[in-house]
Amino acid sequence: MSQGRSTIETDVLVVGFGAAGACAAIEASDEGSEVLIIDRFGGGGATALSGGVVYAGGGTRQQEQAGVEDTHEAMYKYLRRETDNVISADTLGEFCRESPRMLEWLEEQGVPFDSSLCPYKTSYPNNDYYLYYSGSEQAFTEVATPAPRGHRTYGKGTSGRLFFDKLAESVQRRGIEVLTQTTAQQLVTDETGRVVGVKCRALRRGRVHRVLNRWSAKPFLYVPKVGRMMHKVVEWLEHRRSAKTITIMARKGVILAAGGFVNNRHMMRQHAPRHRGGLPLGTPGDNGSGINMGAAVGGATAHMDRISVWRFLTPPSAMLDGLLVDRNGQRICDETRYGAAIGDAIIRNGGKAWLVIDDVLIEEAKEQLKEQTLWFQKLQVWYLLLTRKRGTPGIDAQALEATMKELDDVKPLYPPYSLIDMSIRPTIGFPAPMLTLGGLVVDEKTGGVKRANGSVIPGLYAAGRNAVGICSNSYVSGLSLADCVFSGRRAGRNASAQL
């Protein structure tokens, strides 16, 4: 085993084994480089916890089979509005033009997709549907003709684990070595400032570490306090004397793909103090280590305050006919927007919001529960319906009446009314998942990490949520995984090209 040596050499070293790291490694290997991947745990990261949705369009095979007409121009116009110039027009245009081919590439790696089109608006489709409107396309019809672009990996339940497993199998088929339970601690640079390797800590006997980390993963996601307590033992094991320090030298380049920082409480307080009450969507590995290592050698960061907090009104789709208001009875935002946009609007409103519905919508929602929800969605909807309040207590009645009258043509609601609390607050019954979007600034042609003066740090690349990318300003479902594939392949291809 490579862990038996104190120094290891390879062409390209990938730090982090999620979607971005796997795609980077595959691409670098296919370009002829020797590749080594390291991961603090067993691989998968936040990718394996995700819904396995890839945002793709412009005429994918699945869209065509479903009878959906889409063009890369329409996809570009929508994303230009949605992402608000976070990347250059050229890069976004390339992403949209190459989108159908990106999905084909994923299929070549073994990731399955399907063309069954969801007939209603939802945050995540049930097991009957795998193509759906995963963003705010229907709210921006004046910008571009909307099209469903959420391509969910074809598998039951939340299919992120299947998405990652197929990429991991592709990595294995290429003979790429993966060192698990190996924590990157510091980048190694030469006298010119070029990044030439990484210092790591590797566990010699990691069975207990592996088991405890697996046991703490779900509590860490759903009940963070319990997960953090369980994970303290995992961290203790990582610092025992049995852990060995190794240095991995990379002849061509190091690619940072170690995830975001949603589970670094200090960084969250520093960069995003308003985002309290959300549920961190990630693993203990989403602690900002990759971003911090890059910054330590001069890498610039951006959009570190951009946190995507999700507050979904659907499923069931009947909820979209409700009215989302603040204490003053004012409408907060278009209810058809994606859950991240709704979450942003609620955060800007101090984290408070209520959905006004009537008895007709309540009955429709109950009927739709049977067909439109997976088990965890069903539990959340029942929680909301059971905790709703009759009437509109605490809301400015006169202002609410004026708001409802103004929207009567598009949102007719009839008394008696009920209020559902949609505020961002810590609750098991109705959590608000959140993830970080900012990271290291990269050259959009190569994925090379840039300094504050715009120059590129030789030998260092970043991808996925370690880097500023397509979704770093505004997130819609599937855009982060799509960006992981896009940026990971870019970094792998260009790192491999170095002499």
Residue 234 lies in a domain: no
CATH at residue 182: 3.50.50.60
pLDDT of residue 174 exceeding 60: yes
Residues 146 and 167 in one domain: no
Residues 367 and 412 in one domain: yes
Residues 189 and 272 in one domain: yes
Residues 186 and 37 in one domain: yes
Of 136-145, 242-251, 424-433, the one with minimum mean pLDDT is 424-433
Residues 186 and 66 in one domain: no
pLDDT at residue number 150: 98
pLDDT at residue number 374: 93
Residues 323 and 296 in one domain: no
Residues 404 and 287 in one domain: no
103, 126, 150: which is the final residue of a domain?
A: 150
pLDDT at residue number 277: 77
pLDDT at residue number 240: 61
Residue 231 lies in a domain: no
pLDDT at residue number 1: 40
pLDDT bucket at 238, cuts 50 / 70 / 90: low
pLDDT of residue 470 exceeding 70: yes
pLDDT digits (tens, 9 = 90+) for 189-228: 999 999 999 999 998 655 656 665 665 666 666 666 666 6
Residue 173 lies in a domain: yes
pLDDT at residue number 3: 46
Give the whole-number percent of the chain exceeding pLDDT 70: 91
pLDDT at residue number 215: 58
Residues 295 and 331 in one domain: no
pLDDT digits (tens, 9 = 90+) for 283-299: 889 999 999 999 999 99
Please give the residue range of the domain that contains residue 467: 2-50+160-208+239-308+436-496
366, 396, 421: which is the final residue of a domain?
A: 421
pLDDT digits (tens, 9 = 90+) for 115-132: 999 999 999 999 999 999
pLDDT digits (tens, 9 = 90+) for 88-105: 999 999 999 999 999 999
Residue 330 lies in a domain: yes
Residues 178 and 296 in one domain: yes
pLDDT digits (tens, 9 = 90+) for 20-48: 999 999 999 999 999 999 999 999 999 99
Residues 125 and 179 in one domain: no
What is the number of domains present in the chain? 3
pLDDT at residue number 16: 98
CATH at residue 346: 3.90.700.10
pLDDT bucket at 485, cuts 50 / 70 / 90: very high
421, 453, 487: which is the final residue of a domain?
A: 421
How much is the mean pLDDT over the chain? 93
Residue 170 lies in a domain: yes
pLDDT at residue number 209: 62
* For range 438-449, the mean pLDDT: 98
Residue 213 lies in a domain: no
Residues 477 and 361 in one domain: no
Give the whole-number percent of the chain exceeding pLDDT 90: 85
Residues 135 and 81 in one domain: yes
CB 466 within 8 A of CB 259: yes
Residue 226 lies in a domain: no
Residue 368 lies in a domain: yes
